[in-house]
Chain A
Amino acid sequence: MAVKTLTIDGKPVSAEENETILQAATDAGIKIPTLCHLDGLSEVGACRLCITEVSGSNKLLPACVTKVAEGMEVKTNSERLQKYRLMILELLFAERNHVCAVCVANNHCDLQNLAAEHGMTHVRFAYQYPNVPVDASHDWFVMDHNRCILCTRCVRVCDEIEGAHTWDVMGRGTNSRVITDLNQPWGESETCTSCSKCVQVCPTGALSSKGKSVAEMEKRRDFLPYLVQQREGRP
């Protein structure tokens, strides 16, 4: 396999030709913020937090789905990128009803952590306050659309790792919702194996174990690299 050489934040880096900028940066010890990305799942480039500046391109390119190229010059942390990342986070908060103080995932939330890391002190955009439901029909788990950021980690883990493909996305734009089976209550899903992988990979409190109180929902994701490793090379 051919090796490409490029620079990331001025640092000379070499990577295999099929690697993404995100992989190359991670290997080189350069941290790019991510949200929809999770090691072990396929990439969708949904959240755009990993946007980078690549010389020769006017567009900002998401590191998770942009392949490395020979002679590429990548910037991961410019002022412009910081500005856009903060804006993305604020828009995520404005889109649904995120109230950290009373959330089951308080202190254990990827979205909250990113907001803190990016110095988000307030949201400059009008909150949408959508009236979205809570699906608590499953015996063990709760889906709260108020806290969903449509990263589709649940959809991917269910399809790619569990193989059940219970989760999917319906609707368009801000009306998009993750759904179980054919948009029926989760508790009535025929395909769900109740494995809880979706709950564990969910970055926020959107998916949680039933009965958890505020700040009690800690996610366990250590199973994912293990399962991926076990399946290496299998269909």
Chain B
Amino acid sequence: MPKQILIDPVTRIEGHSKITIQLDDAGEVQDAQFHVTQFRGFEKFCEGRPFSEMPALTGRTCGICPVSHLFASSKACDALLAVTIPPTAAKLRRIMNLAQLVQSHALSFFHHSSPDLLFGMDAQPEKRNILGVIELRPSLARDGIALRKFGQEIIALLGGRRIHPAWVVPGGVSDPLESKMRDEMLAAIPDALAIAERTLAWFKGILEQFRDEIRTFGNFPSMFMALVTDQAAGEKNAQLEHYDGKLRFVDASGNIVADGIQPEKYSDYIAESVESFTYLKSPYYKSLGYPDGIYRVGPLARLNVIDRCGTPLADREWTEFLALRRGVILSSFHQHYARLIEILYGIERIEQLLNEPDILDKNVRAIAKPSRFEGIGVAEAPRGTLMHHYKIDENGLITWVNMIIATGHNNLAMNQSVKQVAQHYVRGDKLQEGMLNRVEAVIRSYDPCLSCSTHALGKMPLHLQLLGAGGNVLDEVKR
């Protein structure tokens, strides 16, 4: 008799979701689906608002990555104003975006995923959480907290507060950087770098224990997409780029499929499909159609599409990372690894930017009236490429909004990953904690932000049911 397993909700991620696993008569996994069960409606209720409020409004999509939304949004507003923002403003925005990258990656790696890594996937959930980490390995927990603080403090120093700073505005930023604050940020760099390096060393040391997970956690061919630095045609020097640049797609062998794509042209390459089982839309690469046009974004994708990182320590680690496999790295388990390398890159790059001679320049805002009726802003959020697309009327009021969130790009890949993990680990009709946790852990490796991607709030006890074909509950786990 065919049965269904339901994991509802999925824990230690940002937002609300559930997973269903369909078993056949023999108790083998036939299919698995990742359902995002929340709905928010930002695209609708922003209509009618003045465009200048959009960074703050869309920032409220999320309490973890408001900063990422601020950048995609303010860039879309810059496009409406048709201005090039002052160079110092662009650099300051970059610093805050990288600080966001560091703090969010630290949250994902240390707070959400380190319990799985430290205790193993089969450990009891009473232990396998951040409090367990604090007990067993206080230094690891402290490092996570310190690294997150590093990023948050930079955000607070620049924007006045850690969450929802109002500092990023259409045309640039509202206030220049003070030298005292720059010095404070620079002083925090050495400790942050040391944490990033020792965490990488620890992670590389335990990789061997996760061989099976590496092999089965979203390890399948797909395309990857990310922003890379702008470069002349034929040059092979595309570096990590989180704030500006051009979009690049590579295939599962690492061949460049599309390059130098102006972010404003995203809709020539990407289309969105809607499925009845989830509120999260599924973007796909247009020319391959749905669902073959599956691609991934995020830290792994970024490290897969570049020619080099662009900072010394990160480049060294990246070279070692690439040696894991010929071509590109396919296993989504390695998102953790990629996240750590990006943390390293972020800290190094922040230091470089803070040392730029014009970083204290007072000219940080271009004042203009809207000159275009349509604006698109694209930036790399910690979870991947984030797109905001606005249309306004002649008075500057929003008439139409489309937001494609990083987690959305990964929707097809997350579904495929869940299926792969379920097929490998789930057997029969008896639920086991380790199996269950692995299904969740693969989702966690993408660090999805569902609140953002369906543009809700909530806390998540876990409820998992094994249902018979008639909907009868065969087994049930609650926590």
Contact = CB atoms under 8 A, between A and B. Distances in A.
Q: Do A and B share a complex? A: yes
Interface of A: 101-102, 104, 106, 133-134, 136-137, 142, 144, 187, 210-216
B57 A102 contact: yes
Contacts of B170: 211, 213
Contact of A101 (B48, B164, B174, B369): B164
30 contacts: A101-B56, A101-B60, A101-B164, A102-B53, A102-B56, A134-B48, A134-B49, A134-B397, A136-B395, A136-B396, A137-B395, A142-B50, A210-B52, A210-B369, A210-B396, A211-B52, A211-B170, A212-B52, A213-B55, A213-B56, A213-B169, A213-B170, A213-B174, A214-B55, A214-B56, A214-B166, A215-B166, A216-B166, A216-B169, A216-B174
Interface string B41-57: 00000001110110111
Contacts of B48: 133-134
A11 B473 CA distance: 75
Nearest to A140: B369
A104 B60 CA distance: 15
B164 A213 contact: no
A210 B81 CA distance: 13
A101 B164 CA distance: 9
Nearest to B369: A211
Contacts of B395: 136-137, 187
B396 A102 contact: no
A163 B55 CA distance: 38
Nearest 6 A-B pairs (CB), nearest first?
Answer: A214-B56, A136-B395, A213-B169, A214-B166, A215-B166, A102-B56
B53 A210 contact: no
Contacts, number: 48
Nearest to A133: B48
Nearest to A205: B53
Contacts of B57: 102
Contacts of A144: 50
Interface residues of B, number: 19
A137 B397 CA distance: 9
Given A104-B53, A213-B53, 4 more contacts: A102-B60, A133-B48, A136-B397, A212-B52
Contacts of B49: 134
Given A101-B164, A136-B396, A136-B397, A213 B60 contact: no
Contacts of A142: 50
B89 to A, nearest CB: 14
Nearest to A212: B52
B50 A210 contact: yes
B50 A134 contact: yes
A14 to B, nearest CB: 47
A102 B61 CA distance: 12
A213 B367 CA distance: 12
Interface string B148-170: 00000000000000001010011
Contacts of A106: 166
B166 A213 contact: yes
Contacts of B50: 134, 136, 142, 144, 210
Contacts of B164: 101
A178 to B, nearest CB: 18
A133 B395 CA distance: 13
Contacts of A216: 166, 169, 174
Name which of A101, A102, A210 has the most chain B CB atoms within 10 A of its CB. Answer: A102
Interface string B110-149: 0000000000000000000000000000000000000000
A187 B396 CA distance: 13
Nearest to B57: A102
Interface string B40-84: 000000001110110111001000000000000000000000000
A142 B392 CA distance: 15
Contact of B53 (A133, A137, A187, A214): A214
A208 B164 CA distance: 21
A148 B56 CA distance: 20
A213 B397 contact: no
Nearest to A135: B395
Nearest to B171: A211
Contacts of A133: 48
A52 to B, nearest CB: 38
Nearest to A132: B48
Nearest to A210: B396
Contacts of B56: 101-102, 213-214
Contacts of A134: 48-50, 397
Contacts of A211: 52, 170, 367, 369, 396
A233 B171 CA distance: 47
A210 B397 CA distance: 11
Contacts of B367: 211
Interface string B301-320: 00000000000000000000
Contacts of A212: 52
